[in-house]
C-alpha cells in the first residue's frame, strides 16, 4: 500500500521523489526520472545570491521549461533576507514549491555557512525558515540531515521549529553533516521526527533497491522517499520500486535495448540543453554511471571520456551496445 504524498495543495502522483543533487538533477535528468515513474523531481540547488544568477550555471539550473507540475526549486544560502529574496524571484520564474537546503554536506557549501552547516545555528535556522515562508505564497519545504554530528542530532528540534514556522514538508537524510556520505544511513532519527510533527516527512539516504525502499517506509512511517544516488545511471529505479510496493513482485531488469535507448535519449537531451561543448563534458559522468555494471574495468569509459564531439559520443555508445549484444569483451 503506497502512502499518499502531499506538499501543500499538491498531491503527488506517487511518494517517490528525485532528491536534488548539485550537478546531477538538471532538467534533462528530472524529466527522465519523471518519465520513469518519479512523482516529483526537485531542481539542483540555486544559490541564494541573485547577483550570481547571470552565470550560465545558474541560468541552466533555473530552466524549468516543459516540466510537469508541481515544479520544486531548491535554494541554498545562509542569509535570511537573501534566501527570502531568492524564494520570491524563483516563484516569479515559475517555481511552485521552494525547498530550503540544509542537507548538503559539501565543504564548498558548508564553509559558507549554508547547507547542513546551518543546523549548528538554531536561531539562524528559525530566522531563515520564517523569512522564506513569509516571502512567498507557495509551499516551502526543508531538506536537512539528522544533525551536525552524532553527538548533536538536532533534527527533531529543527523539525518542530519548521512546522511552527509554516514549513509544509520535511525531507531528512539519515546521516549527520560530519558523516558526509560515509557509513550507512540511520533511520531512527527520521522515525523520531515523524512521530513528533504532523507535516509530511520524506526519508532519504541509501535507498537503492525496492526492498530497501519498503523497509525504510515501514521503519520510519515516512510519507514518501527521496532517492538520489540510487537513481544515477538507473532512472528506472522509480518504476521498479513503485511496482514492488504495489505488487510485492520484482519488475524485470530493463533489457539491454532499453538501456541503450534511455542512455541515447539522455545523451541527446544533454547535448541539446547545454550545447555541444558543455553537453559532451556533462554526459561523461552520466555515461559512467549507466555503464557501472557492464564496464567493470572502466576501459570503455576511459575511451569515452577522451571524446569531445557529440556525434562521436553517440556513435561510441551505439558501438558499445552492439558489442554488448554480440557478447564482445571491450578492450581499450
What amino acid positions are annotated as catalytic residues? 104
How far is Cα 202 from Cα 42, in angstroms, rounded to an integer?
A: 13
Contact 74, 43 (CB under 8 A): yes
Task: Provide CB contacts within 8 A for 301, sequence distance 6+.
Answer: 287, 288, 291, 295
Phi-psi region of 298 (alpha: psi -120 to 50; beta: other; left: phi over 0): left
In this structure, what C-alpha cell is assigned to residue 110? 558548508
Helix (H, G, I), strand (E, B) or coil at 266: helix
Q: In this structure, are strands 72-76 and 16-18 parallel, antiparallel, or unpaired?
A: unpaired
| Alpha helices (runs of H) in 75-154, residue ranges in sequence order | 80-92, 107-110, 122-135
How far is Cα 209 from Cα 214, in angstroms, rounded to an integer?
A: 9
Distance, CA of 42 to chain centre: 6
Amino acid at each position: 500500500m503506497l502512502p499518499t504524498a502531499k506538499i501543500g495543495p499538491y498531491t503527488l502522483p506517487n511518494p517517490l521523489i528525485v532528491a536534488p543533487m548539485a550537478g546531477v538533477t538538471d532538467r534533462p535528468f528530472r524529466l527522465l526520472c519523471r518519465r520513469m515513474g518519479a512523482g516529483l523531481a526537485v531542481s539542483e540547488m540555486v544559490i541564494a545570491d541573485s547577483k550570481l544568477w547571470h552565470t550560465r550555471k545558474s541560468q541552466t539550473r533555473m530552466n524549468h521549461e516543459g516540466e510537469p507540475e508541481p515544479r520544486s526549486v531548491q535554494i541554498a544560502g545562509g542569509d535570511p533576507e537573501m534566501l527570502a529574496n531568492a524564494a520570491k524571484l524563483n516563484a516569479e520564474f515559475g517555481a511552485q514549491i521552494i525547498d530550503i537546503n540544509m542537507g548538503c554536506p559539501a565543504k564548498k557549501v558548508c564553509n559558507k555557512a549554508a547547507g547542513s552547516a546551518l543546523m549548528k545555528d538554531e536561531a539562524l535556522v528559525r530566522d531563515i525558515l520564517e523569512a522564506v515562508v513569509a516571502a512567498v505564497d507557495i509551499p516551502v519545504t526543508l531538506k536537512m540531515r539528522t544533525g551536525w554530528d552524532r553527538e548533536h542530532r538536532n533534527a527533531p528540534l529543527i523539525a518542530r521549529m519548521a512546522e511552527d514556522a509554516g514549513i509544509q514538508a520535511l525531507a531528512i537524510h539519515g546521516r549527520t553533516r560530519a558523516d558526509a556520505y560515509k557509513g550507512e544511513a540511520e533511520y531512527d532519527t527520521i522515525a523520531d521526527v515523524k512521530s513528533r510533527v504532523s507535516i509530511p516527512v520524506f526519508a532519504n539516504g541509501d535507498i537503492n533497491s525496492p526492498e530497501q525502499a519498503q523497509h525504510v517506509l515501514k521503519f520510519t512511517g515516512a510519507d514518501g522517499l527521496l532517492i538520489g544516488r540510487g537513481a544515477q545511471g538507473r532512472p528506472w529505479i522509480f518504476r521498479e520500486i513503485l511496482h514492488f510496493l504495489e505488487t510485492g513482485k520484482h519488475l524485470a531488469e530493463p533489457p539491454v535495448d532499453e538501456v541503450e535507448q534511455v542512455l541515447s535519449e539522455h545523451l541527446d537531451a544533454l547535448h541539446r540543453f547545454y550545447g555541444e561543448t558543455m553537453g559532451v563534458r556533462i554526459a561523461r559522468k552520466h555515461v559512467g554511471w549507466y555503464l557501472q555494471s557492464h564496464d567493470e574495468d572502466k576501459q570503455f569509459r576511459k575511451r569515452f571520456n577522451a571524446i569531445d564531439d557529440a556525434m562521436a559520443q553517440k556513435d561510441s555508445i551505439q558501438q558499445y551496445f552492439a558489442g554488448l549484444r554480440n557478447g564482445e569483451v571491450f578492450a581499450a
